[in-house]
Amino acid sequence: MTFDFSGKTAIVTGAASGIGRAIAIGLAKAGAHVVASDVHVDNLLQLKQELMNEQVCIDIQACDVSEQQEVQDMFSHPALAKGLDILIHSAGITFAKHVTETSINEYRSLIETNLSGTFYCLQHAVSRMKEHGASGSIIVVSSINAHRPLPDQAVYSSTKAAIESLAQSLAVEVAPWGIRVNCLAPGAVNTPLLRDAMPPAAELSKKSPGTPIPIGYMGEPEDMVGTAMFLASPLSSYMTGASLVVDGGLLLQR
Ligand SMILES: NC(=O)c1ccc[n+]([C@@H]2O[C@H](COP(=O)([O-])OP(=O)(O)OC[C@H]3O[C@@H](n4cnc5c(N)ncnc54)[C@H](O)[C@@H]3O)[C@@H](O)[C@H]2O)c1
């Protein structure tokens, strides 16, 4: 199936790596005008160059989503002059640590990036979408941890459960304006975030007989793109406040 996002403008946060990067590429290749944002500008520049080599154009924007002013600046990007149609909010961090070993600074960094960052992005996205009186689709990348927590990820799981709740509440508030808000909840996806937080998980990246993932292998970032595009497109026009789990069946096994 192919999607056509011609004439649509999208912001993708966390677009320098992993899931956000794959979705930014998918949307741009499907015709959307993509503003790819991240804290890692070098990686954004590399993404822009790679796409230019394929005659696909994107804008890039440095933005730390935990900084309210930077989020405000991102949503003032000139590409949004005619409005914003799609937000993919993928920026996020994690680490594996027992609750008793988690420092207050580590706790705060998870809350500020994963929860406050989501709040700032959703607030500004809705304002931009409403300003232009157009409908819009917001997709928040949460996690299966929002549905069933794992040990050593208590704070991370809390932030993901909180952003799912935030997305659901917002979905109710903005539905009358034609704006939809849904979550994409990945399972184990082969990205730097997972490899750094849980090094043994990287071994599941190839098909392996011992994998707990029913589909037989860890997801790749590209495995998230179809669901994100579906949620961004009119095909999901009657869906809001939903969380779509995309995990190869992993949740069923725990
Ligand atoms: N990889 C997985 O298995 C998995 C599973 C469930 C959920 N997720 C979620 O998917 C999202 C994307 O993660 P990923 O696996 O692609 O990881 P990733 O590390 O490959 O990409 C995350 C990106 O977010 C950016 N980022 C981090 N903090 C930021 C900040 N304060 N402001 C702006 N950008 C920031 C990073 O620079 C990076 O480019 C995250 O929200 C993560 O929690 C990932």
Structure-model confidence comparison of residues 107 and 200, the more confident one: 107
Is the model's pLDDT at 10 over the cut of 80?
yes
The answer to the question of residue 218 being in a domain is yes
For residue 225, the CA-to-ligand 1 centroid distance in Å is: 14
Q: Is 160 a catalytic residue?
A: yes
**Of the residues 8, 48, 97, 160, which is catalytic?**
160
| 144 vs 244: CA distance, rounded Å | 9
Sheet holding 136-141, edge to edge: 59-62, 33-38, 9-13, 86-89, 136-141, 179-186, 243-246
- Please give the biggest Cα pair distance in the chain: 52
Which of 12, 17, 35 gets mutated to test ligand 1 (max ligand atoms within 8 A of its CB)? 17
Structure-model confidence comparison of residues 206 and 225, the more confident one: 225
Q: What is the CATH number of the domain that holds 62?
A: 3.40.50.720
pLDDT tens-digit series, residues 58-90 = 999 999 999 999 999 999 999 999 899 999 999
**Of the residues 17, 90, 143, 205, which is catalytic?**
143
The answer to the question of residue 3 being in a domain is no
pLDDT tens-digit series, residues 104-142 = 999 999 999 999 999 999 999 999 999 887 789 999 999
Beta strand 243-246 with 179-186 is parallel
pLDDT of 94 reads 96
Mean confidence (pLDDT) of the chain: 94
pLDDT tens-digit series, residues 139-188 = 999 999 999 878 899 999 999 999 999 999 999 999 999 999 999 999 99
Structure tokens at 10: 């999208």
The answer to the question of residue 4 being in a domain is no
Confidence of residue 201 (pLDDT cuts 50, 70, 90): low
Is the model's pLDDT at 199 over the cut of 70?
no
- Which of 214, 205, 221 shows the shortest CA–CA distance to 90? 221
Per the CB < 8 A criterion, the answer to whether 146 and 160 are in contact is: yes
126-155: b or e for each residue (b if 16 or more CB lie within 10 Å)?
Answer: bebbbeeeeebbbbbbbbbbbbebeebbbb
Q: Whose CA is nearest to atom 30 of ligand 1?
A: 64
Q: How many domains does the chain have?
A: 1
pLDDT of 175 reads 97
What is the average per-residue pLDDT within 37-63? Answer: 98
- Which of 115, 125, 73 shows the shortest CA–CA distance to 93? 115
Q: Is 37 a catalytic residue?
A: no
The answer to the question of residue 1 being in a domain is no
Q: Whose CA is nearest to atom 35 of ligand 1?
A: 91
Which domain does 225 fall in, by range?
9-253
pLDDT of 154 reads 95
The answer to the question of residue 240 being in a domain is yes
Ligand 1 neighbours, Cβ below 6 Å, are 13-14, 16-20, 38-40, 63-66, 90-94, 113, 117, 141, 143, 186, 188-189, 191-194
pLDDT of 253 reads 85
Measured at the CA of 129, the angle between CA 128 and CA 135, to 5 degrees, comes to: 175
pLDDT of 1 reads 76
pLDDT of 203 reads 60
